[in-house]
A and B are shown apart, each in its own frame.
Chain A
Amino acid sequence: MCQVGEDYVEPPPREPPPVPRPGCGQKCVKCKQGDPVVVIRAGDAFCRDCFKAFYVHKFRAMLGKNRLIFPGEKVLLAWSGGPSSSSMVWQVLEVRPHHPQGLSQDSAKRLRFVPGVVYVDEGAACGQSPEDRAKTLAEVKQVLHVVNFPWHLVALEEVFSLPPSVLRCCPQEPAGTEGAYKSAVDSFLQQYHVLGAEGAEDSCGRARGEEERPWPQSQDPHSLPSPAGPPSAAQTEALCRLFESVRTLTAKEELLQTLRSHLILHVARAHGYSKVMTGDSCTRLAIKLMTNLALGRGAFLAWDTGFSDERHGDVVVVRPMRDHTLKEVAFYNRLFAVPLVFTPAVDTKAPEKASVHRLMEAFILRLQAQFPSTVSTVYRTGEKLVKAPRDGCGGGPSGPRCLLCLCTLDIDTADSATAFGAQTSSLSQMPPSTLQAEAGTPTAPCCAVGEGPGCCWKARGRTDDAQAQVTQQLCYGCRGNMSDLPSLDRLPPYILAEAQLRSQRAGVMQEIQEYLIEDSSDEAEGPQS
């Protein structure tokens, strides 16, 4: 309703819109000339061109402000077919050098990274039929051909052939400083001008290097064992069984998110991408902040929703759409006919009270309708969070990491006076008389070391050692989600293998612990590889 002259057929500028609503005599607030077509905030009417400039500027400003993406760097765009990520891919396309619709001819203003697109086919987890999946894939490929970046089409089933190394954090060389960024830009521009003299048409192709040719499917030597073609029926069935066994929709959504991020991480590593861009909008991030808060992920909010997420070390996840509201995204996509692909998600058509995610989404959007500052307030609160652990909470960057979300564990000692301790203590079974004043001396998180006496979740039952082994390596939030799985055996093999490896290593460390001489304040850590 905010778009003047909205029409459901192709809206060509045939005639002036059938306006005269009160206040519509006004002109665009930016250029004071054009006829406004969309009101973004109360009173701010933009014409088509100014809206586009405003929108694209936001995207570029977000990247320019953070100076994280170096010229010539390979960046993987995580595209789901939905509005925000499609809009993101379109932005990158529009501001590429020598694109016919290239926004600016000024080379200094162009994006200088080398993009690729990854699409994860989640049909099996969302219960799509093989026919529907094939149809969706055809649509996806059509869009990918239009975009014409190198692309990688992976099915979620491929998590069953991931190597355990996905779950390891690969340390990154020291991050580039301000100076490094500037000199990289300068040298890139110089190189660019040299190439420009040779032939403007080819220059971008050469700058992109050997990967100019869009791949029909990922066909890299280091690629996944089953690169091309549809996934095997056995894997599809295993994936379906895994997702069907999850008791709650909340845990299902979290599991899907986890597996998807591992798969994208693997694709990025296999093909040498050092950045992954996701299309989270401001609205989506506000919802995610509140959802993760309710899921007990308070320690990781800055990782989960910040501009950059370095938890994997070598591959950094970047969220360049975080200043765009969902409303702006929707208008942009509509005004500029950005191609989308609709696919049902795990929560499509689910009632509002089916999961924490759905509940929080509905709550925030409803509150936003009443109080239009809700989303931006939550989002700005999130920006004040930092990634370092809170004072007094242990676990530096070198501490043990969660097996699934790869964040530094946020687990308190069992039986401590914390929300975690309150749930893990086995007190409820004991009569109060057996309780003495146990002076809780703070120690290192016991679950990290494996099987210390009185280790966490003992109360939950030692019936299944393998199960306990996995659980002990999880953060608070992931434990909550995994407790909704009846059996962890159905998880993809790479997770179980890595869990076993880690606990073996922890066992070995414990054996030799007494012979080690501690010198620095740094905790002795298991070897990384």
Chain B
Amino acid sequence: MPAPTCASCHAARAALRRPRSGQALCGPCFCAAFEAEVLHTVVAGRLLPPGAVVAVGASGGKDSTVLAHVLRELAPRLDVALRLVAVDEGIGGYRDEALAAVRRQAARWELPLTVVAYEDLFRGWTMDAVARSTAGTGRGRSCCTFCGVLRRRALEEGARLVGATHIVTGHNADDMAETVLMNFLRGDAARLARGGGLGSRGEGGALPRCRPLQFASQKEVVLYAHFRRLDYFSEECVYAPEAFRGHARDLLKRLEAVRPTAALDLVHSAERLALAPAVRPPRPGACSRCGALASRALCQACALLDGLARGRPRLAIGEREHRGGGDAEGTRGRARAAVEAAAAAL
């Protein structure tokens, strides 16, 4: 059976069906439409003002690769400057290859790349070291908790280092939908109250963050990467995949099979969830150690590192931290010094 003609240009043969609408399009029309939609999200959501210096969190994976590529296409129209920031978590055998992919991308697109390493930022802690430390405590699965918190901090530091005014990450609609399901299943009302938007506006001195791909489904991201022939790294992290997210991911896959719009329906729900005022998180303050944004006395990164340093890495998200003493310098100051030293050495 010959392929139908493209529903947009009515000239070329269609090469794909859009997962959500079922519309048959040719490759170039699909890519143009995808880019237009991201542009629309950025413009209508007023995510990136003209003149912004945007740090793209690049992991080498499909989402960040597509995001960087789309934004590079749109950069002249949006009038923004792009910087790639990659984080080296220090995971042997896995991260090296991913970083190699990021380096190839940066060279191909001629974008400036900065790599920040956990080892330099966090007193020598690499993820491998964290994993060894947590392995014996029965919290072997909490690797992702540590890594997530630390990566967030590392990205922030990297973005400041390159003089960025905004941070963008490649989270897509499926990621957001999984997060909503997960937060609901574990009763995380504070996160439900905070989430739902396209990012944070940058309160308390933190850089504004946003997710321009939030309305693009994972399938479309992969399709875009396929038609633009993007080179990305697609291996799963060597540390155990987050068990709970696995449940949510599995559920979302099945939901999408029943109803193709499920992911966006969940995103819509998340935008509209109204939580009681009592469970809304208090206005964040500053970490008493490093001055970063924190909802408690210590920011999550400092609290986790504190636990690791004491050899008691029991602290996970949501557990109460013990008031740490000493070390007034904190992660942020230390991190900045380390990054600057690294930059000077290059």
Interface residues of A (CB under 8 A from B): 248, 250, 289-290, 292-299, 301-302, 353-356, 359-360, 363, 367, 374, 377-378, 380-381, 384-391, 393, 410, 415-423, 425, 427-432, 435, 437-440, 476-477, 480
CB atoms of A438 and B44 under 8 A apart = yes
CB atoms of B40 and A384 under 8 A apart = no
CB atoms of B32 and A296 under 8 A apart = no
**Given A377-B185, A432-B32, A432-B36: A421 in contact with B44 (beta carbons within 8 A):** yes
Partner of B187, one of A360, A380, A390, A439: A380
CB atoms of A417 and B198 under 8 A apart = yes
CB atoms of B180 and A367 under 8 A apart = no
**Given A388-B274, A438-B43: A290 in contact with B269 (beta carbons within 8 A):** no
Interface residues of B (CB under 8 A from A): 8, 18, 20-21, 23, 32-33, 35-37, 39-41, 43-47, 173, 180-181, 184-189, 192, 196, 198, 215, 247, 251, 254-255, 257-259, 261-262, 264-279
Partner of B39, one of A355, A423, A432, A476: A432
Partner of A378, one of B8, B40, B44, B187: B187
Which residues of A lie under 8 Å from residue B39 when comparing CB positions? 432, 435
Partner of A296, one of B46, B173, B266: B266
Which residues of B lie under 8 Å from residue A410 when comparing CB positions? 268, 272
CB atoms of B259 and A356 under 8 A apart = yes
CB atoms of A432 and B273 under 8 A apart = no
Q: Could you give 6 example pairs across A and B, Cβ below 8 Å? A: A293-B269, A296-B265, A390-B196, A390-B271, A423-B264, A430-B36
Chain A CB within 10 Å, residue with most, of B8, B257, B264, B277: B264
CB atoms of A381 and B184 under 8 A apart = yes
CB atoms of B254 and A427 under 8 A apart = no
CB atoms of B268 and A296 under 8 A apart = yes
B6 → chain A closest CB, angstroms: 11
Which residues of B lie under 8 Å from residue A425 when comparing CB positions? 37, 40
Partner of B274, one of A302, A374, A429: A302
Which residues of A lie under 8 Å from residue B180 when comparing CB positions? 293
CB atoms of B272 and A393 under 8 A apart = yes
* 5 further contact pairs, Cβ within 8 A, besides A293-B181, A374-B185: A299-B272, A359-B258, A390-B271, A390-B273, A391-B274
Which residues of A lie under 8 Å from residue B40 when comparing CB positions? 415, 417, 421-422, 425, 427, 435
CB atoms of B273 and A385 under 8 A apart = yes
CB atoms of A299 and B273 under 8 A apart = yes
Residue of A nearest to B35 (CB): A432
B189 → chain A closest CB, angstroms: 5
CB atoms of B272 and A417 under 8 A apart = no
CB atoms of B187 and A418 under 8 A apart = no
Partner of A298, one of B18, B35, B173, B271: B271
Partner of B273, one of A301, A416, A423: A301
CB atoms of A422 and B258 under 8 A apart = no
Return the 9 tightest CB-CB contacts between A and B, nearest first: A298-B269, A417-B45, A296-B265, A422-B215, A299-B272, A419-B268, A417-B44, A390-B274, A419-B267
B22 → chain A closest CB, angstroms: 12
Residue of B nearest to A290 (CB): B184
Which residues of A lie under 8 Å from residue B276 when comparing CB positions? 384-386
Partner of B258, one of A290, A355, A381, A388: A355
Which residues of A lie under 8 Å from residue B265 when comparing CB positions? 294-296, 419, 476-477, 480
